[in-house]
Structure 1
């Protein structure tokens, strides 16, 4: 491994400041330029509940998991890592990186309060949450950690332009990650074709577990795969194992994993898993693709449907229908749930029952 520290550019700030949009834009720009790069959304590294204490405990879980993930990416030979997400507004994140082989650049995005308010509401956030939003923005301004970048009046591409020149764009050598030792469960993997409703149903089931006081964690495998060149199932598996280890250390006793397909590289992470496969007919998949495109689900990094034109939507429908047909022909030990014609709440209830069996 090279002695040179791996650069990590982290965009943070209050909700609506543009941290995720900017970080994803940087990742996309670097991949288009041929760079060996990875993107990490730190919010995907803290999906464990019921919340183990206050906000500080949650930030500590995310930070510990992030360092695990960064070590995996560094071992693979990644030349630049881009991170987005909220940090502890009182303590920052810099202390976690002391003595580590990473060169952290923490960028605190800000903008005028009127513009922050508009951005927050335009993305569908409730007006009732505005006081909490401004409280977070005030805390960031008060502590003043990181480098402040005012994005008032800027388009997202302009913010990306301002930070792209500070990134490393190199191809580099891709190295295999270290072998993964199998970890205990119980683990339920929810699979299915594009837009069938895996994430919506699984996250609903997760909230039900939390409401009943059961310590359960959640992982969206697609969110662990933002590495270029890629895709790289071995890296996804290594990250999944590292994050589950962190969740177990934090008290989780069950894991829900969402994945379009669960490959052999992923299966080796666990001693034993239960696979619940969601299926749906063509009409249902068509409707769910439309709903996704119109914004009826959470917006995650890499979303290929939000706001796309009808021609692109039709292409995704065709792919989803083909995936569903192919997956029906595959064999394996799994529970199959036909979700054709169901509303999200019905699918979530059926999934929760299958997980508990």
Structure 2
């Protein structure tokens, strides 16, 4: 009888252990993807209560007991998590401990001026805190991930660190006899290239043209440098006025030689690379060609002929 009793007790213990383990490794309560936020400073006990209140687990007490017996001892991480249907309580704890948070993304396109970078970050409701308008040219256009509740300042810092890291990598690869002798001027010239063409294949050619003008001491005559002091780089929304072309300031390259006092936007990698390794060209003039690109010329006579072709095309389109 003692042997039978001991055997039954052993069987009961095994069954109990199986049931106990099944509650840990079996599926949780949810039937659809469910987001869950862990605030900074939360404890495993408070998180277990929140899991129960949100209907993700059936019992906080059972979860805590199984976590102590079967779970790892690592602390839980703050952030926003996504739990899938059929996830086990063991996997829930593993996610919480590993910091497998939901990653969200914000994109800064090439040529977005800093005032618009500021507005985009401030408009993201899932970010927190205040930031100043970043220094023009300090942000590397790219797609960046962030977590719910993250500080805007932290996201901006990553964007600016990415620019510094890219410049540190790109500057040593610059060509010989380029038009600029420091990184800051390279970013300024690249910002003009970025705003002057949206055609990837033209970037090095446009960079070569403006590099030639810088070297020759010519007026750069880049329209975006007229617009920048007016809108801080936002679209002007109308044609440039003659009074604005004649305005004298630190940016208008129609009334000053050399580079403006700083960047007029945040240039992307390709525009920076184009300035550091521009096309080998004698071109010093360009005008739109009607296809989204430009016609380039080495003499004023050639340029005037290209301008006449552009005007004829605009008249044909009813634009003049």
Q: Same fold (TM over 0.5)?
A: no
Bigger radius of gyration, 1 or 2?
Answer: 2
Per chain length, whose mean CA-contact separation is higher, i.e. which structure has more relative contact order (CA < 8 Å, sep 6+)? 1
TM-score, normalising length: structure 2: 0.25
